[in-house]
Amino acid sequence: MTTLTPDMLVSGIRQSQRDEPDSGILSAVNHGFGRKGLIPLWTGEGPLQTPEFICQAASKAMFDGETFYTWQRGLPQLRAALAAYHEKFWPGPFSAERFFVTGGGMQAIQVALQLLADKGEEIVIPSPAWPNFPGPMRMMGVKPAFVPMLYNDRKWSLDLDRMRDSIGPKTRAICLISPSNPIGWVASREDLIAIRDMAREAGVWILADEVYSRFYYGPDTAGVARSPSFMDVCDPDERVIYINTFSKNWAMTGWRIGWLQAPEALGPAIERIIQYNTSGTAAFMQKGALAALENGEDFVEMQIEMARACRAKVAGALGQLNNVSFENAQGAFYSFFRIDGLIDSLGATLRIIDEANVGLAPGGTFGPGGEGFLRMCYLRDPDSLDEALVRLTAWLRQA
């Protein structure tokens, strides 16, 4: 028998998997992970461990024997708590039947994509966008139809006419990440209404990622500090699927637990996808998530305040540099800044790791419009953020 070379093995897998480029975020992490003294601002997470009461609830459930297969859609108790959590911040009413527990926001995205689009079809998405939307689309043979965001006078905006023009016969959905990763841009209520109307007119779905909705620094929305939402302007039973996660609000990125909100009618279809993908999320982890929803509000508010203070520090430090431009955006916890003359953001990211010992993400990995920028996750403890900014501004001054 002939020995198969690595190239021969790889050439035998699906072309869409072979062709997909690596995420530049991972390329940066793989280059610098574990370096002594490196300050990691490359992925979207803060410095705090999951609060103890959440860990205790999960570990108690595990020791109490919640170690068996469980509900595919999620524990009824957790789904009811998700409905109650939504009632506090968005216009309801919300029934538990609308909520589905997933393996992180990432699996909620996978479920939504599997629900909505087939090979050869398209999903409209403004760009720059977090690569974990267009990446899995391409891997499924679905084309991300990018709508380049406009960056003028240090401000990002969405060209609604261009978005409308990008909807065609193959379009199945419009995907909107707001607040945006990576640019922090937040869709206004008017933007959301316009997109809703486009979707209604074309008979396509809206895929709404509102993972960062609580990290919002703009004006209050109806007295509640959270970003404008499709929930403000859409009917509960129209074609909208919401992606969300426990990762950010409650510092649970390593848990891999999130949720999806969809019209009740999709329940059996979503249950089937979960069954055939992961067969559900560990029951004991769901008990941790339940504790987060029931007792975690103080922690969320503390993290939002921390993000707000970090945002001000970053704006102050980068704002002093003549060769750097950025919008002090209203949402999420990223600074997406452009460096004059930069044409290779991955190369710059690797050099900043080597020369300044700070980990960032390359703008080019976020798709059209992202090259020339770098992304910094600024949710950090104040001392290490200060130190990162000293190192980074020194590097940028000589860039």
Ligand X SMILES: Cc1ncc(COP(=O)(O)O)c(C=O)c1O
Residues that bind ligand X (CB under 6 A): 44, 104-106, 130, 177, 181, 209, 211, 243, 245, 247, 253, 258
Bridge partners (DSSP) listed for residue 336: 375
We find the least distance from the C-beta atom of residue 252 to ligand X, in angstroms, to be 8
Distance of CA 250 to the CA centre of its chain: 15
We find the least distance from the C-beta atom of residue 181 to ligand X, in angstroms, to be 4
We find the least distance from the C-beta atom of residue 217 to ligand X, in angstroms, to be 17
We find the least distance from the C-beta atom of residue 6 to ligand X, in angstroms, to be 30
We find the least distance from the C-beta atom of residue 277 to ligand X, in angstroms, to be 14
Give 253's DSSP letter. G
CB closer to ligand X out of 105 and 359: 105
Closest Cα partner for 329 from 310, 306, 348, 301? 310
CB closer to ligand X out of 105 and 372: 105
Look at residue 36 and give its three-state secondary structure: coil
We find the least distance from the C-beta atom of residue 212 to ligand X, in angstroms, to be 7
Neighbours of 271 (CB within 10 A): 15
CB closer to ligand X out of 306 and 332: 332
Distance of CA 27 to the CA centre of its chain: 18
We find the least distance from the C-beta atom of residue 14 to ligand X, in angstroms, to be 23
CB closer to ligand X out of 242 and 317: 242
CB closer to ligand X out of 336 and 357: 336
The set of residues, in sequence order, having a beta carbon less than 8 Å from that of 106 and lying 6+ positions away, is 132, 256, 258
Closest Cα partner for 239 from 191, 206, 270? 206
We find the least distance from the C-beta atom of residue 191 to ligand X, in angstroms, to be 17
Residue nearest to ligand X (CB): 105
Closest Cα partner for 282 from 117, 126, 71? 71
We find the least distance from the C-beta atom of residue 309 to ligand X, in angstroms, to be 21
Give 342's DSSP letter. -
CB closer to ligand X out of 337 and 366: 366
Interatomic CA distance for residues 199 and 324, integer angstroms: 37
Q: At what angle do helices 52-63 and 283-295 cross, to 10 degrees?
A: 150
| The token pair that represents 30 in the structure block | 């793989």
Closest Cα partner for 351 from 305, 396, 288? 396
- Looking at the chain, list the stretches that DSSP marks H as alpha helix, in order from N- to C-terminal side: 6-11, 15-19, 24-32, 52-63, 76-89, 104-116, 134-139, 160-165, 189-202, 230-233, 267-277, 283-295, 297-318, 345-356, 382-397
CB closer to ligand X out of 90 and 259: 259
CB closer to ligand X out of 229 and 247: 247
CB closer to ligand X out of 208 and 396: 208
Catalogue the long-range contacts made by 362-365 (C-beta closer than 8 Å, 24 or more residues apart).
362/24, 362/25, 362/27, 362/28, 363/128, 363/182, 363/336, 363/338, 364/24, 365/23, 365/24, 365/25, 365/27, 365/131
